Chain A
Amino acid sequence: MAAVVLAPSSFSDGTEAIALVVLLTEFAMMRASLSRSQVRLYSFQSLAVSALAVFVAATQHVGDLYVLAGLSFVLKVVVVPRIVLRLLRDSRVDLATSHRLGVATMVLLAIVVAAFGFFVVGGLPVHSPSLPAPALGLAGAVILVSFLLVILRSDVVSQAVGFFSLENGVSLASLVLAAGLPLIVEVAFLFDLLVAVVVFGVLIRVHHGRSQTLSTDALDRLRG
Chain B
Amino acid sequence: MVAVELAPAEIQVLQVLTILVLSPLVSGWIAHLEARLQGRRGPRILQPYYDLAKLFRKETLIPEDAGWVFVAGPMVAFTCYLIVPLLIPVLTTFPLPLFRTGDILGGGFILALAGFSVALAAAETGGPYAQLGSSRAMTFGALIEPSILFVTFTVALVTTTDLPYFEAAAARSSLSQAIRPAHLLIAVAFFLVVLNDTGRIPVESHASTLEFGMIDEARTLEHSGPLFALLKWGSAMKQMILYVLLINVFVAPWGLAGSTASGSVLLAILALVGKAFGVGAVFAVIDNSFSKLRLFKITEFMAAAFLLAILAVLVLYVGGG
Q: Which residues of A contact B (CB under 8 A)?
A: 1-8, 10, 12-13, 16-17, 20, 23-24, 27, 31, 102-104, 107-108, 110-111, 114-115, 118-119, 122, 132-134, 137-138
Which residues on A sit within 8 Å (CB–CB) of B39?
none
Please report whether the interface of chain B is mostly helix, strand, loop or mixed according to DSSP: helix
Cβ-defined contact, B311 with A20, below 8 A? yes
Among B166, B180, B310, contact of A13 (Cβ-Cβ < 8 Å): B180
Q: Mark B135-159, 1 if CB is under 8 A from A, else 0.
A: 0000000000000000000000111
Cβ-defined contact, B318 with A137, below 8 A? yes
Cβ-defined contact, A107 with B303, below 8 A? yes
Which residues on A sit within 8 Å (CB–CB) of B177?
4, 6-7
B315 interface contact, C-beta 8 A: yes
Cβ-defined contact, B318 with A133, below 8 A? yes
Given A6-B320, A107-B300, A107-B307, A115 and B314 contact (CB-CB distance below 8 Å): yes
- Measured CA separation A103–B306 after assembly (Å): 13
Closest 4 CB pairs of A and B: A8-B320, A107-B303, A104-B299, A7-B180
Cβ-defined contact, B318 with A20, below 8 A? no
Among A2, A24, A114, contact of B166 (Cβ-Cβ < 8 Å): A2
- Measured CA separation A20–B186 after assembly (Å): 13
Apart from the given pairs A10-B176, A107-B307, 10 other A-B contacts in the complex at a CB distance below 8 Å:
A4-B169, A5-B157, A5-B159, A8-B319, A13-B180, A13-B181, A17-B184, A20-B311, A118-B318, A137-B314
Q: Which residues of B contact A (CB under 8 A)?
A: 157-161, 163, 166, 169-170, 173-174, 176-177, 179-181, 184-185, 297, 299-300, 302-304, 306-308, 310-311, 314-316, 318-321
Nearest CB on A from B311, distance (A): 7
Chain A residue nearest to B175 in the complex (CB): A7
- Measured CA separation A6–B319 after assembly (Å): 11
Which residues on A sit within 8 Å (CB–CB) of B169?
1, 4
Chain A residue nearest to B177 in the complex (CB): A7
Which residues on A sit within 8 Å (CB–CB) of B170?
4
Among A7, A107, A111, contact of B176 (Cβ-Cβ < 8 Å): A7
Chain A residue nearest to B299 in the complex (CB): A104
Among B161, B174, B302, contact of A7 (Cβ-Cβ < 8 Å): B174
- Measured CA separation A23–B221 after assembly (Å): 43
Most chain A beta carbons < 10 A, residue from B304, B316, B318: B318
Q: Provide 12 A-B residue pairs closer than 8 Å at the C-beta atoms, listed in order of the A residue.
A: A2-B160, A3-B159, A4-B160, A7-B180, A8-B320, A31-B304, A102-B299, A103-B300, A107-B300, A107-B303, A119-B318, A137-B319
Please report whether the interface of chain A is mostly helix, strand, loop or mixed according to DSSP: helix
Nearest CB on B from A65, distance (A): 22
Chain B residue nearest to A132 in the complex (CB): B319
Nearest CB on B from A45, distance (A): 16
Which residues on B sit within 8 Å (CB–CB) of A27?
307
Cβ-defined contact, A104 with B302, below 8 A? yes
- Measured CA separation A111–B150 after assembly (Å): 13
Given A20-B315, A104-B300, A119-B318, A4 and B173 contact (CB-CB distance below 8 Å): yes
Which residues on B sit within 8 Å (CB–CB) of A10?
176
Most chain A beta carbons < 10 A, residue from B170, B185, B320: B320
Which residues on A sit within 8 Å (CB–CB) of B310?
111, 115
Chain B residue nearest to A106 in the complex (CB): B303
